[in-house]
Amino acid sequence: MASGLLSRAEALALPGVRHACHVMLYSDTDAKLFGRIPFRHVVLMQMRFDGLLGFSGGLVDPSEETLEEGLGRELLEELGLAVPVSAEDLVESCFAPALPPSSSSSSSSSSSSSSPSRLVLHFYVKKMEEAQIREVEKAAVCTAADHGLEVMGMLRVPLYGAKSLSSFLSHSFIGNARGQLVSSLLRLQLVSPKMMHQALTLSLQVHASSGTDLRGALALTEKHGWGASASRRSPADASARRSPADASARRSPADASASWRSPANASDLQSPADDSASRGGPVDDSA
């Protein structure tokens, strides 16, 4: 999955690195979406404070605690209850991928492998009972200290069809969390390689069209007095003095929403799996 794999011992012997531990919690389930589409598995992730999707966990200081003690402390803060994770649940340790240049100045993680303060990631996977997963979800909202702060909310990965999974995988993830998710789903056979292939192929199509979608959304900021044509005047003046160049900003709300509709939303991207799901047929052949 990721380059730069390390053994636990190698990782802990590295001088001058920081460590972070994260875990994918999951369970089997008999639940059915709309009463007929098998959910099969519950896989938990979270919306982070930075708007990115990631796994629960955080920074750990091995000079003061074991990796698993530190992970347990982070889980208590983020999930609001104790979730014991053991060394046997460790899947891999590796260097965090280098951050894209645009995000390096705003992050304190300095995860480039050439940076003096490199970050080593320890990724765990833990299977639970469905009832325990529900407890986690409740506590994460009701008692977790980080709820609404460092964690904006827990969420379940939609695994019942290629189209819904592709939409989920099209979001933005922290570091290599998307790779950690995909590789875990395949390794644990929670999603078949066929469905994952369909989902990722669709995700690439969604990404190709999301530029159009984002440009349509960006045009809405001009309507509110900020942007290419609007920036020549102060935002306060914008609504009072619209220039002819402001044509796009003067479109009706109906026009604006039309420009949002990208091909990604069109039915031509619907996968056979999701198509059959919507008709009540089998969703996919994942395990």
CB of 96 to ligand APR, least distance (A): 4
In angstroms, the Cα distances linking 75 to 33, 121, 259 are 28, 16, 42
Interface residue with Mg ion among 58, 72, 216, 225 (CB under 5 A) is: 58
CB of 51 to Mg ion, least distance (A): 14
Calpha distance 162→200 (Å, rounded): 8
DSSP 182: H
CA 35 remoteness from chain centre: 27
How many chain residues are in contact with Mg ion, going by CB under 5 A? 1
Q: Indicate the helix (H) or strand (E) that contains 258.
A: helix 253-260
CB of 45 to Mg ion, least distance (A): 12
Examine residue 72 and tell whether it contacts Mg ion (CB under 5 A).
no
CB of 58 to ligand APR, least distance (A): 2
Nearer to ligand APR, 59 or 218 (CB): 59
> Which residues would be at the binding site for ligand APR (CB under 6 A)?
20, 22, 54, 57-59, 74, 96, 107-109, 119, 121, 150, 174-177, 180
CB of 142 to ligand APR, least distance (A): 19
Nearer to Mg ion, 70 or 216 (CB): 70
Nearer to ligand APR, 14 or 31 (CB): 14
Nearer to ligand APR, 93 or 180 (CB): 180
Nearer to ligand APR, 159 or 174 (CB): 174
Judged by beta carbon distances under 5 to 8 A according to partner kind, the member of Mg ion, ligand APR, none in contact with residue 177 is ligand APR
CA atoms within 13 A on the CB side of 103: 16
Residues in the chain: 287
Task: Tell me the residue number closest to Mg ion, measured at CB.
Answer: 58
Nearer to ligand APR, 109 or 198 (CB): 109
Give Rg (Cα) of the chain.
22
Calpha distance 179→126 (Å, rounded): 17
Q: Which stretch binds Mg ion (CB under 5 A): 55-63, 94-102, 180-188, 204-212?
A: 55-63
Which pairing describes strands 17-28 and 118-127: parallel, antiparallel, or unpaired? parallel
In angstroms, the Cα distances linking 81 to 35, 48, 73, 88, 146 are 30, 18, 10, 21, 12
Judged by beta carbon distances under 5 to 8 A according to partner kind, the member of Mg ion, ligand APR, none in contact with residue 229 is none
Calpha distance 1→179 (Å, rounded): 7
CB of 119 to Mg ion, least distance (A): 13
**Could you tell me the two tokens for 36?**
């007929």
Calpha distance 264→23 (Å, rounded): 31
CB of 78 to Mg ion, least distance (A): 6
CA atoms within 13 A on the CB side of 24: 26
**Could you tell me the two tokens for 186?**
């395949």
Judged by beta carbon distances under 5 to 8 A according to partner kind, the member of ligand APR, Mg ion, none in contact with residue 59 is ligand APR
Q: Name the residues that contact Mg ion, by CB under 5 A.
A: 58
